[in-house]
Chain A
Amino acid sequence: MSFRLEPRADASLALKLTVSLAAGLAALLLVALPVLLAGGNPLNAYALIIQGAFGSMFAFSETLNRATPLILTGLAAAVAFRARLWNIGAEGQLYIGALAAIMVGSGLLAMPPALLIPTVMIAGFLAGGMMMVIPAILKQRFGADEVVITLLLNFVVILLVQMLIEGPLKDPLSMGWPQSVPLLAEARFDKLVPRLRMHWGLVVGLVAAVLLWLMVRKTVLGFEIKAVGENHAAARFAGIPVNATMLKVALLSGGLAGLAGVGEVAGVKGYLSSDLSPGFGYTGIVVAMLAGLSPIGTVFAALFVAAVFVGADSMSRATGISNYLADLVVALSLLCVLVGSFFVRFRVHHEPDAALARRR
């Protein structure tokens, strides 16, 4: 082959940003094909998506509302992937976090909101965190691959939730509809703006992003996580406790996903049902990858992905094109950003095959 790859000495922030943006745009362009096949007009569809996501105060609020859990699951994936811990279980961690919120905040504890809300959040964080600590321990103790285990645990957790909301946690007033007892009013997140659905969970997400950025850049823990993730043999040799560091990452990652579940229960629904998340956990992986695993970038990537979902819903109502188009955009974004990462890592040189001809 006449192409030669040369690892880049340094990839600039501008290059990384360009790659992420280009990946998002490429994904949007690629879905023109399915839109055409479905009999739609791609330009029209794009316009409707943008309008549906940003066209009004209500639309924008819905986009922010949709972005809230995605910021947190995105951070969950970002912090784990940075340490090369493959947490694909954010979906289950989200549900277990929501479950913990219900168990603690639906009447078990009677406290004023100033205490109950933090308690519910901590419970959700810890529950989600434990859901990732377990696979991390299984990996350390038994060498069991965390990818498959976290994936399988997603199914287990959702069944567990179904079992509980049809059993002990069933809301007697729900008229047979499987949903849990409601969260106490004291445990619920306030709306940020009256009559719009976006809530304080968004602030939680933004604060988490900033804290994570601080941790990555400024703290010893961030340093150690990076060392362990990039080269665990060298980290171990240098005396960094590799296993303990990984468990911290697992707790943090699962915890953030658990908080996403708390937010959906306390900020949006008020109760737990088995359709709480339309795949926020899996989509968080895409968000994190689009953000290049950067905590601050995660916020923007979550916004983009949320806009695609919210916009596609409204586009679908107007044109009849299936809103699975949004999932298609998200999947394509992931693959495009992955291809983009190749160009961040390598410079590709074209080499004319002149070696034979140029003798002296």
Chain B
Amino acid sequence: MIVVRLALQSLRNRWITALLTIISISLSVALLLGVEKVRTAARDSFSSTISGTDLIIGARTGDIQLLLYSVFRLGNATNNMSWKSYRDIAKRGEVKWAVPLSLGDSHRGFRVLATTADYFKYYQYRDHQPLQFTEGQVFGDLFDTVIGADVAKTLRYKLGDKVVISHGISAIGQKHDARPFTISGILKKTGTPVDRTLHISLKAMEAIHVDWGTGMKMPGRTTPATVLRRMPLRTKVITAALVGLKSRMQTFAMQRHVNNYRAEPLTAVIPGMTLYKMWALVGTAETALIAVSALVVTTAILGMMIMIFSTLNERRREISILRSVGAGPKTIIGLLVSEAVILTALGIVVGAGMLYALLWASRSAIDQHYGIYLAVTAPSQNEYWALGAILLGGFVAGLLPAWRAYRVSLADGMIVRT
């Protein structure tokens, strides 16, 4: 159809402003979609990190803090809980299983988690999925370690490789270089912090600290490994414990019991509820982010409206020519509105394309650094609604200049009066 062709040619004639408009809309669309994607991906990866654990127990601290340092390896424990309390609780009749966790050391930026072989049996992520090994098995020897998928991938480790653990979590900490560990197993990728963790046994954790005083290596003393293997290594403190109960009905009673534990101030949290609390906390920030991106989109659409308005004057002739050959208000308004809709639609397509390209290119880096797995999936229903709303916004933004153009063309009559 000639009118459509002429509309496109008119747009091509003003390609610089049209292009800039498309770019500004597409950037705003990419921002909005990006915020939404990261938000849902962050929620997803947080909620799928732990599953099947009824309670997490640690020294008295904030609920969220306990969850963050025990499961997400974010931040540090301010206090430890005693082994005695752990045993005492683990022995209770309601408890089906309990796994102690001890954190504090690291290897080249990856956290080291000391635990028992039960961890690989009971820890579950995303809808009750257990941990699986791609290669090897649980630590057999005292100085064996099981590493997560990302550790293996990033540091290019394979079974049998030796690794040295550093004291503390900073990369410049003193090294337990007298006691290298051998990789006995590599875990399958889970998309959780487990991927970025090296697992050793609680005994090994004690063993590497044998010649240490409080936070410092004692100079000149190195107990040989053979001696260590024969030593009665006893764990005195742990960071936290994961607990599974025989019946979920007992969760609250058990939580109350732990929180009122006499011998030592402890905290027990229910992972799901604590996550929920955390979302409530983070929710405000999320809403703010979305509001800001929505404003950016609005600004971009307003920019397009300004662009169309500013071309109206130079297009008065174009419009009066169309009127003179018999184009009615429908055609004139349709012309300007469809221009707005075309620009918005192109902005949406380009913006979504940009975002997906960016996601695709950066997802492994984001996964590595922030532990957020960004799935490159089709837009969710929410996102479709948002895109639909943007398109509608573009349509409405086109109506105003279109209406004005028609009014002006009426006032102009047949000849543009300037």
**Do chains A and B stick together as partners?**
no
